[in-house]
């Protein structure tokens, strides 16, 4: 019963994340205005019965009820992914504060990844959400280890920012700081390695097997992938 409730909460949060992602990638939209969901194509208000996570997408066959606009498959994928991550967190983490914090971090990282992929920008409010709740995780586990990790990762990324001023965004640095607080030192280094290797593979695929120093890479998704993967592994292995 608790796992079902956790999944339902997760897909509901995922539905909200879709709103955050869409509105954060549109320059003329504010996060809270208008307060209701609407179709990006016809701008008609989406009623509650057409806004039920996953279910409405299936019933509407992936199209807007009013104009027939095809709803991107990303919407149910984000909802289901968030629900699954919440379930994994619930299965691994028994401490309530850690569970809630990990779910907030996971949600923010999902939004960061998709926004950065589209805009090459990471909103400050999402980055600081990760940083604040990673600090909570540090307080709840082994603060000194996490503080050392934070200082190591921050130093590495500040040096990289100075060396490659245009190659690394300020948002990437702040996100890395959050990952540093989330993990002990050794897992943090592995998270950075995973992020770096994933980023290189992405660049190779995008460049069709060729590396170009001018190729822009959204590093946020790869930091999120490396950081949260190592968080789950670290917690599951009892390293936190």
Q: Where are the domains of the chain?
A: 1-92, 95-240
Q: What is the pLDDT of residue 33?
A: 72
Q: Is the pLDDT confidence value at 211 over 80?
A: no
pLDDT at residue 237 is higher than 80:
no
pLDDT score of 36: 82
pTM above 0.75, yes or no: yes
Examine residue 34 and say whether the peptide bond preceding it is cis (omega within 30 degrees of 0): yes
> SS3 sequence, 10-46?
HHHHHHHHHHHHHHHCCCCCCCCCCCCCECCCCCCEC
Nearest C-alpha neighbor of 199 from the set 180, 224, 218: 218
- pLDDT, tens only, 14-46: 999 999 999 998 877 777 777 888 898 898 999
Q: What is the rounded distance in angstroms from the CA atom of residue 131 to the CA atom of residue 69? A: 37
pLDDT at 207: 72
Identify which has the larger pLDDT, 19 or 166: 19
Q: What pLDDT, on a 0 to 100 scale, did the predictor assign at position 216?
A: 75
The mean pLDDT value for 103-125 works out to 96
Note whether 225 and 81 are within 8 A (CB).
no
Examine the pLDDT at 86 and tell me if it is beyond 80: yes
Give the span between the Cα atoms of 127 and 123, in whole angstroms: 7
Across the chain, what does the average pLDDT equal?
Answer: 91
**C-beta contacts of 91-94 below 8 A and 24+ residues apart:** 91/3, 92/232, 92/235, 92/236, 93/235
- The dihedrals phi and psi of 42, each to the nearest 5 degrees, come to -95, -10
Higher pLDDT, 240 or 237: 237
Q: What is the pLDDT of residue 26?
A: 84
More confident of the two residues 15 and 207: 15
Res 212: pLDDT? 64
Please say whether the beta carbons of 140 and 95 come within 8 A: yes
């Amino acid at each position: 019963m608790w796992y079902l409730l956790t999944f339902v909460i997760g897909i509901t949060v995922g539905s909200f994340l879709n709103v955050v992602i869409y509105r954060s990638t549109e320059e003329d939209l504010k996060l809270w205005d208008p307060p209701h969901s609407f179709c990006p194509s016809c701008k008609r208000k989406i009623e509650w019965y057409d806004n039920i996570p996953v279910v409405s997408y299936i019933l509407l066959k992936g199209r807007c009820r009013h104009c027939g606009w095809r709803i991107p498959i990303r919407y149910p994928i984000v909802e289901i992914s968030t629900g699954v991550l919440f379930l994994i967190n619930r299965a691994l983490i028994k401490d309530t504060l850690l569970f809630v914090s990990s779910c907030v971090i996971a949600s923010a990282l999902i939004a960061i990844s998709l926004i950065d992929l589209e805009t090459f920008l990471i909103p400050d409010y999402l980055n600081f959400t990760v940083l604040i709740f990673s600090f909570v995780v540090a307080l709840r586990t082994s603060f000194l280890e996490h503080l050392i990790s934070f200082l190591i990762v921050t130093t590495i990324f500040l040096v990289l920012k100075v060396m490659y001023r245009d190659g690394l965004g300020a948002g990437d640095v702040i996100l890395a700081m959050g990952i540093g607080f989330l993990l002990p030192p050794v897992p943090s280094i592995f998270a950075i390695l995973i992020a770096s290797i994933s980023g290189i593979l992405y660049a190779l695929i995008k460049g069709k097997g060729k590396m170009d120093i001018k190729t822009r890479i959204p590093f946020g998704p790869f930091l999120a992938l490396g950081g949260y993967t190592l968080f789950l592994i670290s917690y599951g292995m009892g390293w936190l």
